[in-house]
Amino acid sequence: MSEDIKFLDIAYEEALKAYEKDEVPIGAVIVKDGEIIGKGHNQRIEKNNALYHAEIVAIEEACRNTGSWRLDGCTLYVTVEPCVMCAGAIMQSRIKKVVFGALDQKGGAVVSKYRLFDDGKLPFKVDYSLINYEKASIILKDFFLNKRRVSRER
Amino acid sequence: MSEDIKFLDIAYEEALKAYEKDEVPIGAVIVKDGEIIGKGHNQRIEKNNALYHAEIVAIEEACRNTGSWRLDGCTLYVTVEPCVMCAGAIMQSRIKKVVFGALDQKGGAVVSKYRLFDDGKLPFKVDYSLINYEKASIILKDFFLNKRRVSRER
C-alpha cells in the first residue's frame, strides 16, 4: 500500500506538470520490478494530438526504454481512472496491473462507464486497484473550476 | 458508395505494406473534404510499440498535417473494425465517421464485442458504416494461415 502511494505521488507530480501547462491535470507512471520505466502527463494541447493522454505518453516511454511492445509484468499508476482509449492501450501493451487514485464517473472504462478489464469480453487480463488518493480529484476539480471562472470573466 | 470503395482501396494498400513487413495487415486512411490527410498501417513490431495500430498512425499523421488535435468533419476508413483502443482514439479525436471493410468478431469495439459508438454511455457521437470489402478479411486470413504454417514447420 505505501508502495502504491509512493508511485501515485510520482504520478501526481506528473499531473502537476500538466496543470502548469494548462492541460487537464492527469499523470501516470509505469513500474517494473520496483523501477520506473516510463512517466507521462496529459499533453493533448501541447502535442496537438488527442492521443497524448498521460497513460499513452507513459506507455510510449516505457516501450522506448525497454525496446519492446510488451510491457509484461508492469504496473501502471495513474491519478485518475483510464478512459476507453487508455484502457485499450493498457490491454494492447499487456500491462499486468493498473492502480488509479480517483474515479472518472463520466468516462472511466475500468469501473465507471465500462468494466473493460473484467467483463470477460476480451482475452486480456488486467488487474486493477482503486486507491482513494484525494489530491488526484482535488487538482482536477480545481482545474475545471478555474477554467469556468476564466471563461465567465472573458 | 464508390467513394467509400475508393478510400477502402487506399486503406487496403496500407494493409499490404503491413503484410510485407510481417505485421498484422490492417490499413487506414483519414479523409477531410475529399482529401486524404492521414494514412497508416499496423507497425506494432516495427515501432516496438503496441499502440501503433493503423488507425493510431493515421490519426497521428492527420493531427500533424492539420496542426490540431480535433479532426472534426473527418472520416476514417479502415480495412477492419477498430479495437477498443482505436475506437477510443477515434472518439477522443472527434472523428465524425468510421467506414470499415470487415468485422473483427474477436475484438471489434463498434459492433462485435462492444458498441462504443452508439451505446449512449459516452458523450461522443461517431457515425459508422460496415461495407463488405472482402479483400480486407482475405488478407488477414491469409496472414494468420501463413503464421500457423510457419510455426508448424519450425
Task: Indicate whether B152 pLDDT > 90.
Answer: no
Task: Indicate whether B150 pLDDT > 80.
Answer: no
β-strand pairing of A97-100 with A75-78:
parallel
Grid cell for residue A141: 476539480
Please report the pLDDT score of residue A84 as a whole number: 98
Please report the pLDDT score of residue B130 as a whole number: 97
Task: Indicate whether B149 pLDDT > 70.
Answer: yes
Q: Which of residues 85-114 of B touch A (CB under 8 A)?
A: 85-89, 91-94, 106-107, 109, 113-114
| Rounded Cα gap, residues B73 and B48, in angstroms | 31
Q: Under DSSP, is residue A104 helix (H, G, I), strand (E, B) or coil?
A: coil
Tell me the binding residues of B for Zn(2+).
53, 83, 86
| Rounded Cα gap, residues A77 and A31, in angstroms | 8
In CATH terms, is domain B1-141 a member of 3.40.140.10?
Answer: yes
Percent pLDDT > 70 in chain B is 99
Please report the pLDDT score of residue B96 as a whole number: 97
Chain A partners within 8 Å of B89 (Cβ): 50-51, 85
Calculate helix-pair angle for A84-92, A54-66, nearest 10 degrees: 20
What pLDDT digit, counting tens, does each position of A27-82 carry? 999 999 999 999 999 999 999 999 999 999 999 999 999 999 999 999 999 999 99
Using the CB atoms, write b or e for A76-93: b if 16+ within 10 Å. Answer: bbbbbbbbbbbbbbbbbb
Measure the CA angle with vertex B55, ends B22 and B67; round to 5°.
125
* Predicted TM-score (pTM) of this structure: 0.95
Residue B9 corresponds to which amino acid?
Answer: D
Let me know: does A71 contact A94? Beta carbons within 8 Å: yes
Chain B partners within 8 Å of A121 (Cβ): 113-114
What pLDDT digit, counting tens, does each position of A88-135 carry? 999 999 999 999 999 999 999 999 999 999 999 999 989 999 999 999
What pLDDT digit, counting tens, does each position of A137-150 carry? 999 999 999 888 87
Could you count the other beta carbons within 10 Å of the beta carbon of residue B131?
14
